Structure formats: C-alpha cells, structure tokens
Amino acid sequence: MAKFAKKRFYKTPKGPKPLSKQKPKDASTLAPGLERLERAIAHMGLASRREAKALIASGQVKVNGKVVKETGFGINPEKDLVTVNNKSAENKEAILVYKPRGIETSKTSPENKDIHDRLPALSHLAPIGRLDKDSEGLIILSNDGSLARALTKENSTVEKEYTVFVREQVEPNALQKMENGIMLDKIKTKPTKTKRLSKNSFTIILTEGRKHQIRRMCDACHLTIESLIRIRIGSLKIGSMKPGFVKRISSKEIEVLKKS
C-alpha cells in the first residue's frame, strides 16, 4: 500500500481575518457560515472532536493568531486561520475506506477500537460522517474541510446507498413507507429510494445521515437488521473492496463530490 503523508495541519486561504465576535455554547445559535471550532478542527483532520476540545482547553489552538480556549467558539472555516501548536495543515488528502464490522468510526471509550486503531497510517485524517459499530462499508477519511462540509451539510444531495439484510420478509408496503418518509424524533425522514433484492434483502438510498437512521426506519417497519453495508457514497462504489481495504480518492472525484 502506498505511503501516506505525515500529519500536517490546515491553513485556510488568504491569510488571517478578524475573529468572529460570536461565541455561542449551542451550535444551533451560530450565525450562518460559522462552525464550532472543535468541529472545524475535526474536519481538518487535526484531531477527533473529543481531542480537539482538550487541545482548545489547554490553549494549544489559535484562531487568527489569538489563543481561543472556548469550545463552541464560532469560526468561518473559509476565512479564519486555525493553527494547533503554531502549525497549519497542508496537502489535502481523501481516502476511501471499507470499515469492517465490529469497530467504531471514532472511539467512544478507551477500550473500544476504531478505524484509526485498524489503520494507524491514516491517523492524521478524520472520518467524514459515521457508520455504527455493527455496520460496515464505505467511509471517507480526509483533512479537507470543504469536502467534509459538502458531505455533511444539512442540504447535501450526495447519495449514500446501503444494502440491508433483514430477518423478516421484505414486503412492498414496508419499502413504500421508507420511501415516503418515517417520523423519527418528531421529524420526518427525507424521501428515499429502495429496491427489493430478495425476500430478506433490499437497497436503500439516503441523502441525509441521522443517527442510526436505517436501523430506526427498519424498526418502524418491524424489520430486524442482520447486516447493513454502505456500498456507495455519491459516485464512489464499493466494487471489489473488502473489509479493511483503502483507496485514494482522486482530485477529480473530490471535486464531483463537492459539487453534488
């Protein structure tokens, strides 16, 4: 496998800009165009969100040359200059990974294993989105903040396709219910596309990524998931990849994802 670049840090273009005056605790109160500092650091591939909070609290993070110790601080990733220990990231990378079943996307506790434990050579890159421990398939690791925002923004139209194997028989009315949308936490899911593959399997295409969304949708349709595999992200397909395989994403493929 090709060698990967050493850990570097991120520098947004066109030099320092004035610090945002807005310092909200709740991400929902951030002004349009702003992002929580710890989230931006994670998108830049500098650290996990949990690690970023510790770096901020210890005074190791600067925004436009000034130390910021407040998590939840709002920045504009396209304008503000973020440095960790006076270094900034360069050389954007994006890697497609087949996450195996049984490991987390990002570690939730010290005893658990995640993608970086399985693939330490990619420890300088942050996962974009997530797959739960019992799911497998494609996920992107990158230090490209603009790519991360393109894939995770609320109005993203990038499709994620999954193959789902269930214990019960798949009935047309269950798939129709998923396509029309299902109420989760008092909010209806966006319309989906489904296709029955066999009496116990189907594919589903989403353009959103709510927590445990497919599992909860299946539960609402009285279907018990036995296997859940993400087989496509936009134009990136799983093909012949196996659990643990990685593949570098070309600059052309990255631009297509950003424009989706």
Q: What are the pLDDT tens digits along the chain (260 aa)? A: 444 444 444 444 454 455 544 444 444 578 887 888 988 887 776 677 788 888 899 999 999 889 999 988 998 877 888 888 776 655 688 999 999 999 999 998 989 999 999 999 998 899 999 999 999 999 999 988 889 888 988 888 999 999 999 999 999 999 999 999 999 999 999 999 999 999 999 999 999 989 999 999 999 999 999 999 999 999 999 999 999 999 999 989 998 998 87
Same domain, 18 and 76: yes
Same domain, 6 and 64: yes
Same domain, 148 and 244: yes
Same domain, 138 and 244: yes
Looking at the structure of the chain, the number of domains it has is 3
Pairing of strands 136-142, 225-233: parallel
Same domain, 83 and 16: yes
How confident is the model over 9-29, as pLDDT tens digits? 444 445 445 554 444 444 457
pLDDT on residue 138: 98
How confident is the model over 200-210, as pLDDT tens digits? 999 999 999 89
pLDDT on residue 224: 98
pLDDT on residue 201: 98
Same domain, 119 and 189: no
Q: Which amino acid makes up residue 48?
A: S
**DSSP conformational letter for 114:** B
3 state DSSP class of 74: strand
Report the distance separating Cα 94 and Cα 251, nearest Å: 9
**DSSP conformational letter for 30:** S
pLDDT on residue 80: 84
- What CATH number corresponds to the domain at position 172? 3.30.70.1560
Same domain, 211 and 250: no
User: Could you tell me which of 176, 178, 227, 248 has the C-alpha nearest to residue 206?
Assistant: 178
Same domain, 191 and 77: no
User: Could you tell me which of 93, 111, 139, 126 has the C-alpha nearest to residue 244?
Assistant: 139
Q: Please identify, among 73, 89, 105, the residue that sits at the C-terminal boundary of a domain.
A: 89
Q: What are the backbone angles phi and psi of residue 259, rounded to the nearest 5°?
A: -90, -10
Q: Which domain holds residue 191?
A: 160-233
**DSSP conformational letter for 27:** G
Report the distance separating Cα 240 and Cα 155, nearest Å: 31
Report the distance separating Cα 238 and Cα 176, nearest Å: 26
Same domain, 54 and 147: no
pLDDT on residue 249: 95
Q: Where are the alpha helices (DSSP H) in 135-259?
A: 145-152, 172-180, 213-220, 251-259
Q: Please identify, among 48, 64, 89, the residue that sits at the C-terminal boundary of a domain.
A: 89
Active site members: 132
pLDDT on residue 87: 65
Same domain, 164 and 218: yes
Q: Count of alpha carbons within 13 Å of 142, Cβ hemisphere only?
A: 27
